[in-house]
Amino acid sequence: MTGPGWRRALVAAAALPVAGLALAALAPTGWWIACLAMHWAPQLTLLALPFWCWQGRTWKVGLGMLLLTAAALWPTVLAAFAAQAPAPSGNITVTTANMYYHSKHHAEAIARLDGELVALIETRAEDHALVMADPRWPHQHWQRPRNIAGMALLSAFPMQAKNLELGRSYGIDARIAMPWGMQRVIVLHTWSPVGSARCAGNHRQLAELAGMAETEPGTLLVMGDLNATPGTAGMRLLRATGLRPPHGGEVRTWPSQLGPFGIAIDHVLARGLALGDATAIDLPGSDHHAVRVRVAGGAAGAARQDATRAPTATSPP
């Protein structure tokens, strides 16, 4: 390649993240490509630094980059400074894990999971046999809408659960006899927002979830792969209902290969409960990290950790 060709390639490589930031700044328009770029606004900001250092010495370019970056990052910044759940004083652990349906390592992934309450996303038909007799989770509910890409809620405590469908997205709606009392838990796997229709569907599903949360007067725990980062409009709707992220903020879960440079789309959210720091768990064969969080029902709930559990439960299918 000639000298000018190399220069053109370098210019294009440096300008691509800037174009991504411009798209992210357009997220409020609802354009699905812009919304997708907004998920990656922090990463795009870092990748745009070479262009900023190269051209930002010109005050017009520098000011333009500053305004563009601020517009692209604004939803993420608002989410970062939003209220979080208080730290817990109990020792109940909940975990949500997207197993990745096409993985052949579900047994290894499940072996790495722990907690009194575990949500499994993208389960396979054979996964039920792996955990049906596990003494850690004697109470289980499995959702297999088409015998593929199902989900499960595994509990150490008695529960009553039913299948849930929000905007053609599948989930589980459960009442669990936690140590602090009966607790509503919703597990959901929303659509990936790739494409105009699926992006709109993802927002509609989260809006319906927010509507359900508004009808629940008590405490609420939401777990699952919501395919939305904290700055999205759908997540803002959930926060408006009082749902809060873990005390130390959320962890980046996808794609797992990027580690801390990925994005947070797997969530544990709570209203009226205390949530500890979220921890990412590596899942063999999955493109997601699982999320582990300690939870407690506040000071009164923590004091009743040894309370008698309710006798009612549903049997695994």
pLDDT value at residue 316: 35
Residue 261 in tokens: 């440079």
Q: How many CA atoms lie within 13 A of 41 on its CB side?
A: 26
Give the least confident one: 44-58, 173-187, 247-261: 44-58
Strands 117-123 and 92-98: parallel
Separation between Cα atoms, residue 230 and residue 78, nearest integer Å: 9
Beta partners for 271?
220
Residue 86 in tokens: 């208080």
Amino acid at 130: L
* Residue 205 in this model has a pLDDT that exceeds 90: yes
Nearest residue to 166 (alpha-carbon basis) of 142, 215, 197, 202: 202
Write down the domain spans for the chain: 3-80, 92-303
Using an 8 Å Cβ cutoff, are 159 and 281 in contact? no
Residue with tokens 């509609």: 204
Distances (CA, A) of 240 to 147, 211, 222, 243: 35, 10, 14, 7
Please state, for a pLDDT cut of 70, what percent of the chain lies above it: 89
Residue with tokens 């000071």: 299
- φ/ψ bin of 170: left (φ > 0), alpha (ψ from -120 to 50), beta (otherwise): beta
Using an 8 Å Cβ cutoff, are 150 and 123 in contact? yes
User: Where are the extended beta strands (E) located within 226-301?
Assistant: 266-271, 274-275, 279-282, 289-296
pLDDT value at residue 45: 92
Please state, for a pLDDT cut of 90, what percent of the chain lies above it: 65
Separation between Cα atoms, residue 198 and residue 192, nearest integer Å: 7
Domain 92-303 belongs to what topology?
Deoxyribonuclease I; Chain A (3.60.10)
- What's the pLDDT tens digit per position in 85-140? 887 767 799 999 999 999 999 999 999 999 999 999 999 888 999 999 999 999 99
Using an 8 Å Cβ cutoff, are 202 and 192 in contact? yes
Distances (CA, A) of 78 to 31, 147, 148, 236, 270: 20, 40, 37, 10, 19
pLDDT value at residue 148: 60
Beta partners for 164?
171
* Residue 302 in this model has a pLDDT that exceeds 90: no
Q: What is the mean pLDDT of residues 150-166?
A: 94
Residue 212 in tokens: 């359900």
Give the least confident one: 46-50, 137-141, 226-230, 250-254: 46-50
Helices and strands per DSSP (H, E), number in the chain: 10, 12
Instruction: Please indicate whether residue 254 or residue 64 has the higher confidence score (pLDDT).
Output: 254
**CB atoms < 10 A from the CB of 4, how many?**
8
**CB atoms < 10 A from the CB of 53, how many?**
10
